[in-house]
Amino acid sequence: MAAPKGNVDMPFIFTDGLHKAGSDKRKLIRQHVMVGKNRGKSRKGNTKTSRQDLGSSMPYSDGPSAIVFKMRYPSIPNKVGNELSFSKFAAPVEPVLLQEMLSFCFMAKRIMYPLADYIDFHKNDKIDTLWFDLLTYDAAYLHSVVFLCQSYSSLVSGSQTSSSACREMVHYSEALRLLRERISGQTQERETWDSTILVVLYLATHAHLVGDITSAKHHIQGLRKMVDLKGGIYALGYNPKLIIELMKCDLAMAVNYGIEPVFFGDPSLEPLIPYDLAPPISETSSGIGASPQPVGSSICCTDLQQAWTVMIRFCSAINYAVKRGRRLPKEVLLSNMGSVMYRVVRIKHELNPVDGIIRLGLLAFFSHVLLRVRNVPSPHTYLPNLYRDRLLDLPPGQIPLLSLVWLLMVGHISLFTPADDHWLLSWLRGCLTRLEVNNWDELRDKLKGLLWIDALHDKPGKAIFDTVYRVSGPRVFNSRLRNG
């Protein structure tokens, strides 16, 4: 029987539990029970039912054992409210902002990590669900996530209205107020809560993204102290994703500001993560790439040479996994960030010009592969300016030609803006001419022997090559080859 449309009479029967209802009341109850059971079922024969069939005109009267009321009720709608109507969060937030926040949370890994599609961040354990559970009982965490979500939307769109700025400030102020209350509380353990670390981490991330260097440094120092209260970064081993988030924020500031990272500074208390020296995946034997080029022969610094070799293996592992539709465990990402990046950033001794530009090339490559935030333009100029200056000061002929092409390509993909095209593209054009490369597939095969991740670099790399080819044309290439 189909659900009734419009208003119908619904009798309510109250009993005192001491007297048995009369036969007419029991019959009425059975009729309505059967209406509920039969609703939605198909019947043979006549299926039309009038409103009166539901008992709206059935004769019954009050008696000593029951009191009967007649009430008219509207038909029940198909959907009441939205998906968040019955969800409880730690603080009141406008429904539209909650929707945007949850959408942001579900996309956060892809936004914050360029390799997210090829790294297995999620497993069915309590640590992974904690990030979302916190929204339901930690108000400071909830406000910080809403604030970061709104700020990201403004950065991506490139504009901000007065109303969106006001919403951001409301949630930022609330997160900051609750954070201060928690930290200044009598119980020192409160400062060590993972959720409190995350709140400060999100504030630091925002400050870094908008170029507020003073606030970013202040927050990262606060994170250092909070991690110390937990027993150091190795004490967070139960939560690898939290360690990755902390290292990402720390390294992003170190690379973009030219400052010392706050973690792994004292080898006696916090030794660097060991290199992963597992045998490299041979892409040549798998038929999916070129063999590594001997770039190490041009690198004099032993630390830098070892970092380059480990990153070659990392790129090979990513390319191998992508080709086979697999994902690498998040510990692979943690290991390479903690071992390679911190060592390259912390190289302090003086380097010759070739080693110096290779080190900057590694940092630029790291920035694009591990540190950048999707669709958010970087406001920082320290690394791009330093990279440009060292490239232009590089003595001619002291670095292998393919290595120079790689440096120019990585700089264009990772750091430079269209304002650099006038010198970078002409230089790259001359290198490709001497390298005798006439199509993208040839160049790609050569670059894959260096540091190259197909899923991230093929598309922008081809765009650069096409731009160079379009500007010069094949005739210019060929004529230059003939003229030496």
**pLDDT interval class at 474 (50, 70, 90):** very low
In the chain, % of residues over pLDDT 70:
73
Reported as a single tens digit per residue, the pLDDT across 231-263 is 999 999 888 889 999 999 999 999 999 999 999
| pLDDT the model gives residue 37 | 55
Question: What would the mean pLDDT of 430-439 be, rounded to a whole number?
Answer: 90
The closest alpha carbon to 414, from 350, 477, 481, 363, belongs to 363
**3-class SS at 122?**
coil
Mean pLDDT, the chain, whole residue set: 78
pLDDT band, residue 132 (cuts 50/70/90): confident
Give how far Cα 135 sits from Cα of 92, 98, 144, 180, 189, Å. Answer: 11, 10, 10, 19, 20
pLDDT at 456 (0 to 100): 95
Q: Average pLDDT for residues 108-134, to the nearest whole number? A: 75
Closest CA to 35 of 70, 67, 10: 10
- The pLDDT of residue 35 is 60
pLDDT for 484 equals 33
In which residue are the tokens 């002929």 written? 397
Burial class (CB in 10 A: 0-12, 13-18, 19+), 16: exposed
User: Average pLDDT, stretch 263-271?
Assistant: 90
Q: Is the pLDDT of residue 40 over 60?
A: no
Contact 71, 9 (CB under 8 A): yes
When pLDDT is averaged across residues 79-100 and rounded to a whole number, the result is 66
Q: Structural domain boundaries of the chain?
A: 8-73, 95-257, 283-380+389-482
C-alpha span between 328 and 12 (Å, rounded): 61
Q: Higher model confidence: residue 69 or residue 460?
A: 460
d(C-alpha 162, C-alpha 459), whole Å: 37
Higher pLDDT residue, 29 or 9? 29
Least confident of 36-50, 90-104, 144-158: 36-50
Angle at 259 between CA 295 and CA 149, to 5 degrees: 100
Q: Answer yes or no: is pLDDT of 463 > 70.
A: yes
Among 88-92, 192-196, 468-472, top mean pLDDT goes to: 192-196
Mean pLDDT throughout 150-164? 80
Q: What is the DSSP track for 263-293?
A: SS--TTTSPPPPP--PPPP-HHHHTSSPPPP
Lowest mean pLDDT among 69-73, 213-217, 467-471, 477-481: 477-481
* pLDDT value at residue 44: 47
360-375 pLDDT tens trace? 999 999 999 999 888 8
More reliable by pLDDT, 70 or 312:
312
Task: Identify the pLDDT of residue 152.
Answer: 86
Q: What is the pLDDT of residue 48?
A: 45
pLDDT reported for residue 362:
96
pTM over 0.95: no
Q: Distance between CA atoms of 138 and 140, rounded to whole angstroms? A: 6
Classify strands 66-73 and 8-15 as parallel, antiparallel or unpaired: antiparallel
